[in-house]
């Protein structure tokens, strides 16, 4: 239960008048932090928030990165109609998120450098974000080296599968 407004002010009339002059909320007037009609207070990080996320959509930057990455993936991730296979969409989205993070950090670093406030910590953060982006590309076989390795691994797996299948077929014949 909220406290009575009178309990926040001094009992001395002169001090009370000064307090009321400085604190509009004690006079009953709204302030920049007053709750407006229909406004639901929520935590900024979203835990136990009464206000749902504004949109289930990705931000425009992430959508652009997803569209660009969808153009770059190989045929093995596509359906017959040329669209990206549903099982590949989360991987492309994850890489797009890392790409956008790398772009944002790069813009931050360029701005900090232009203002003369670039610190070694900023450079370290930028290199860590770039490394995470590159690892995401490697993990999803979207770099040249990882793509070659993935193709070679698929050929080896197919050869091993064929060999096992031949042994099973040869034993039963």
Query: Which of 2-16, 74-88, 132-146 bottoms out in mean pLDDT, i.e. has the lowest?
Result: 2-16
Burial classification of residue 112, based on how many CB atoms lie within 10 Å of its CB (0-12 exposed, 13-18 middle, 19 or more buried): middle
pLDDT for 173 equals: 45
Query: Average pLDDT of the chain?
Result: 80
Q: Tell me the pLDDT tens digit for each residue of 144-157.
A: 787 788 778 777 77
| Distances, alpha carbon 140 to alpha carbons 64, 93, 146, 150, in Å | 18, 11, 8, 9
Q: Looking at 61-70, 102-111, 121-130, 136-145, which range is the least confident one?
A: 136-145
Which residues 6+ apart lie within 8 Å of 20 measured at CB? 9, 26, 27
- The pLDDT-based confidence of 34 (bands split at 50, 70, 90) is confident
For 20-24, what is the mean pLDDT? 78
pLDDT-above-90 percentage for the chain: 27
Beta carbons within 10 angstroms of residue 38's beta carbon: 5
What pLDDT score does 5 carry?
62
**Above 90 in pLDDT, residue 72?**
no
Q: How confident is the model at residue 108 (pLDDT cuts 50, 70, 90)?
A: very high
């Amino acid at each position: 239960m909220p406290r009575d407004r009178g309990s926040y002010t001094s009992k001395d009339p002169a001090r009370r008048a000064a307090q009321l002059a400085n604190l509009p909320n004690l006079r009953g007037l709204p302030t920049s932090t007053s709750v407006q009609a229909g406004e639901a207070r929520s935590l900024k990080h979203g835990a136990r928030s009464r206000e749902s996320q504004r949109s289930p959509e990705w931000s425009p930057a992430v959508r652009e990165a997803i569209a660009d990455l969808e153009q770059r993936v190989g045929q093995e991730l596509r359906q017959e109609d040329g669209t990206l296979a549903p099982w590949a969409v989360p991987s492309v989205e994850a890489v797009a998120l890392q790409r956008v993070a790398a772009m944002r950090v790069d813009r931050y670093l360029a701005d900090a450098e232009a203002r003369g406030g670039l610190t070694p910590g900023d450079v370290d953060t930028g290199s860590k974000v770039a490394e995470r982006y590159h690892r995401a590309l490697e993990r999803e076989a979207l770099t040249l080296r990882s793509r070659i390795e993935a193709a070679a691994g698929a050929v080896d797996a197919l050869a091993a599968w064929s060999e096992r299948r031949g042994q099973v077929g040869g034993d039963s014949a």
